[in-house]
Amino acid sequence: MKIPKRFIPLIEDGLVDEVLSQLMSGKEATVYIVRCGESVFCAKVYKEANKRSFKKAALYQEGRKVRNSRRARAMQKSSKFGRKQQQEIWHNAEVDALYLLATAGVRVPEPYGCYDGILLMELITDAEGYVAPRLNDVEISDDIAREDHKIMMDYIKVMLCVGVIHGDLSEFNVLLDEHGPVIIDLPQAVNASTNNNAQSMLIRDVNNITSYYAQFAPELSKTQYANEMWLLFENGELTPESELTGLFEENQDEADVDLVLLEIKEAFKEEQQRLERIKNAE
């Protein structure tokens, strides 16, 4: 295929020899399959901020530290330099998360580096060597659903242990290879300790994944892993070895009715958006 302009610097530097094909185009990036020597990689080309349709990015960037004061001031003023720095932070967040989670034992694509807004990483394939499908594109048995749901809950738990919440986790950004689920798309990953939206994002991530697997194993819809994890995390008791049960006793104190109604509305809105994505993907 014709070489996209964004790849020319990488080709000139010998990082990429050939762009083989476009894999997909999403709300924040276009993904290609590329070759370097005899190896085939995945190349994620991030879109510029003004062309990116990822909504509420500010919610995800809350709590991300900028050590350089000049950069921080430029970002606050939204100058040209500041916007460039915001772009770099967005890109680097995914690279940092991939390295951190891979080290922690969470299955994610192995990163090889980010160059000029292009992330080179492992291409996840199935047993036959074809590009691994997304969860949304497969049908699985009830036994596999229970097994993989447990794996995903363990991954989310380990992520929380190292202070990371995906923030946009669903069946659309989990791949399935011969060994099980692989989590992808992490530029919006949030810091569990410094982002005020962390708990609600964790709950949404867990609910999205549980809703998918509950299609095949309906009893999973009754589990309460998110609340169980968050309580242990808040109390400083969550570890990678923590045995989760999926059980959680709700607080019987008088509820904040307005807050509950707001959460219900948000949950309904998220579900409608999820169903719309499924419809569009068909």
pLDDT band at 82 (very low <50, low <70, confident <90, very high): very low
Question: Is the residue at 128 inside a domain?
Answer: no
- pLDDT tens figures, 145-191: 999 999 999 999 999 999 999 999 999 999 999 999 999 999 889 99
With a cut of 80, say whether residue 254 has pLDDT above it: no
- pLDDT tens figures, 208-225: 999 999 999 999 999 999
Most confident residue range from 27-31, 55-59, 111-115, 239-243: 239-243
Question: Is the residue at 267 inside a domain?
Answer: yes
Q: Which residue has the higher pLDDT, 117 or 106?
A: 106
pLDDT band at 24 (very low <50, low <70, confident <90, very high): very high
Considering only CA atoms, which of 95, 86, 96 is closest in space to residue 50?
86
pLDDT band at 71 (very low <50, low <70, confident <90, very high): very low
Question: Is the residue at 150 inside a domain?
Answer: yes
With a cut of 90, say whether residue 242 has pLDDT above it: yes
Q: Of all residues in the chain, what percent carry a pLDDT higher than 70?
A: 80
Domain count of the fold of the chain:
1
Question: Is the residue at 261 inside a domain?
Answer: yes
What is the per-residue pLDDT for 173?
A: 95
What is the per-residue pLDDT for 75?
A: 43
What is the per-residue pLDDT for 74?
A: 43
Q: 258: domain CATH number?
A: 1.10.510.10
With a cut of 90, say whether residue 263 has pLDDT above it: no
Question: Is the residue at 234 inside a domain?
Answer: yes
pLDDT band at 68 (very low <50, low <70, confident <90, very high): low
pLDDT band at 269 (very low <50, low <70, confident <90, very high): confident
pLDDT band at 72 (very low <50, low <70, confident <90, very high): very low
Question: Is the residue at 5 inside a domain?
Answer: no
With a cut of 80, say whether residue 259 has pLDDT above it: no
Give exposure, 26-52, as e/b (b: 16+ Cβ within 10 Å): eebbbbbbbebeeeebbbbbbbeeeeb
User: Exposed/middle/buried for 131, CB within 10 Å: 0-12, 13-18, 19+?
Assistant: middle
Question: Is the residue at 193 inside a domain?
Answer: yes
Domain span including residue 267: 135-281
What is the per-residue pLDDT for 90?
A: 65
What is the per-residue pLDDT for 59?
A: 56
Q: What is the mean pLDDT of the chain?
A: 86
Question: Is the residue at 24 inside a domain?
Answer: no
What is the per-residue pLDDT for 47?
A: 85
